[in-house]
Amino acid sequence: MSWLILFLAGLFEVAWAVGLKYTDGFSRLTPTLFTVTAMVASLALLGLAIRQLPLGTAYAIWTGIGAVGTVIAGVLLFDESLNPTRLLSILLIILGLVGLKLSH
């Protein structure tokens, strides 16, 4: 269950990172409320997950899900490039996350 909670925390991290783009420097109310809510949810879920998981592993996986998810969201939502070097870098992050999970 802790791994599922950690995964959800990572998804909320992606949500708030994407939300930042829409806040226009926190000058737009609705996107700002969405972003702050996602931040709180992400941190709360991370806090629950680390009750059962090692801190370093959980934090690295949380940030990794956020990083990979945010890159994917940038490609899909903001037409950011996905060149071979960027794709390889994402794959290396994913391999690191899998390695951390398997070593637990």
Token pair of 30 as six digits: 């609705």
Task: State how far the Cα of 62 lies from the Cα of 4, in Å rounded to an integer.
Answer: 11
pLDDT per residue as tens digits for the range 4-55: 999 999 999 999 999 999 999 999 999 999 999 999 999 999 999 999 999 9
Q: Which residues contact 38 (CB under 8 A, 6 or more apart)?
A: 12, 13, 15, 16, 19
pTM confidence score: 0.90
Domain residues of the chain, as ranges? 1-103
Q: Which residues contact 2 (CB under 8 A, 6 or more apart)?
A: 48, 49, 51, 52, 53
pLDDT per residue as tens digits for the range 66-94: 999 999 999 999 999 999 999 999 999 99
